[in-house]
Each structure stands twice: as structure tokens, then as C-alpha cells.
Structure 1
């Protein structure tokens, strides 16, 4: 099951460096609260509006796979006797359980996580198109040279350049997402 947690970028960076995320909610630790507050996909925007809308520092939305957690996750009412339940994580969150950490401003701009997924898919398709275009350009540039091997050498060189550019862009974007 996927659950979501809003974190400061600084807390998330510290968790990645230290191996465990232990901030329960804004201004409270796991030790103080006893669990880490989380939300389902349809709930996190409301949590942001109620508790994080006035935060000036960068925030990230953690997408957490509960199957990768060692800690227990319990659905509990937000307030005693309340009807709406929220997932509570009774222990630290291992960074390996976090599938994605998306800047909250990007997540809020998207209509859903499906929209974020489609954006990532389109980005990957465009990078693939870049590789193919550079391979074709290389083949055209070296056509008729190298004793008939020019097309192949040009295509391989162009594709290699395209892959190098795609990898560099992917690393840059990954560093930007992690903070």
C-alpha cells in the first residue's frame, strides 16, 4: 500500500544521510508523538492545507511503500471518535521504503500522482527520442565515409552521445529532487 508524508527537505536529507526518518509531523518527533503521521493519496493535500500551507522552507512529499517498512502501519482516527482514519507509522521510516520524494509545490501543481507519473513518462520518452535523433544525425553525418561503415559508426556515436546526455540530465534531476 502507498502512503504519503509531508517532510521538510532538510529533514528528508538528514534521514537519507542517517538511515532513518523520525519526524512525526511539523515540529514533533517520532519519540514525542509515538508514531509518524501519514496520509492516503486522497488526504495529503488536506494535510498540507491545514498544517503546512504557511511553511516557508522547501517541503517534499514522500511516497512510501508500506511493504518495505519494518515498522507497523495502523489506520487510526485523526481525532478520538473521529470517522476519518489516517495511516500512522509506529517506528522510523527507512529511506529505502520511500519510492519518491517530490517537491510539494510540484505535487500540488499536478492533479494527482498519476499526473506526476505521466510527466515522468513523457520526460523519459523525450529523452529516448533525443537518443534516436542523435543516432540518426550521426548516421547521416558519416554516411559514405569509413568505407561503408560510416552509417553504423555514426549511429553508434550519436546514440552514445544521446545516452550520455540523458544520463547527465537524469542525474541532475535526481539531485534536484533529493534536495
Structure 2
């Protein structure tokens, strides 16, 4: 299972099609995280100022048709999906709970 942080409005933008965030066009892959703590760190570092609900997609790596490569600087590796994420590969959706300062503090089931 790999995780991807996404604002609700981006996830909801094209409901009938595979998910293809801006990073796929710009960098050639979809950024993901290996676990919940890493996803929270990504949410806190890159999405603190983003308004509205922030989600974490739980993606079953084996259900993707795109290649997944574990890459990164040094010894810390992150999963990168080199193609769109099929919605059927998303097995659960969590919400990032933030504190009053916008810091990501926990992941909870999204309704």
C-alpha cells in the first residue's frame, strides 16, 4: 500500500477518469509516500496553506498498471507512480486533520 496526498477538489475534478495530478505532466510521475507518518510530513510541508479538505489516497500498488519506482535522495526512498492512478486501485481514502495553525496532525477515515 502506498499513499498519495491530494486536496479534495483535485481528487474530485475528474471522477470518471484515472487520477492524473499536475506532477504527472510536470515531472513524469505521481508523488507518493510509504506510510502514514510520511504522508503527514508531506501534507505539513507542502499543503499547509491549501484551503479545504486534504485527503490521503491509499493505493494498492499491485492494482496499478503504471510502473512504481522507489526513488529518492540518499537512503530515504519514496514511491513514484509513472502514470495515472486508476481509481479502482484506491482502496481507501483518509482525511488529514489539521490543527488551528494548519499543521497536519493525524489521518482519519474520510466520509
Distance 1:68 1:48 in 2: 24
1:97 aligns with 2:101: no
Distance 1:97 1:108 in 2: 26
Where relative contact order (Cα < 8 A, 6+ residues apart) is larger, the structure is 2
* Structure-to-structure mapping, 1:65-84, within 5 angstroms: 65-77=60-72, 79=73, 82-84=74-76
Give unmatched runs, 5+ long, in structure 1.
Answer: 111-115, 121-175
* Structure-to-structure mapping, 1:39-54, within 5 angstroms: 39-41=33-35, 42-54=37-49
CA RMSD of aligned residues (A): 2.1
Give unmatched runs, 5+ long, in structure 2.
Answer: 99-103
Match of 2:50, SS?
coil
TM-score, normalization: structure 1?
0.53
1:12 aligns with 2:18: no
Q: Which runs of 4+ in 1 moved over 2 A?
A: 106-110
Structure with the higher fraction of residues in helix conformation:
1
**1:54 CA displacement:** 1.9
**1:109 CA displacement:** 3.2
Structure with the higher fraction of residues in strand conformation:
2
Give aligned pairs, total: 105
> Which residue of structure 2 lines up, in the alignment, with residue 21 of structure 1?
19
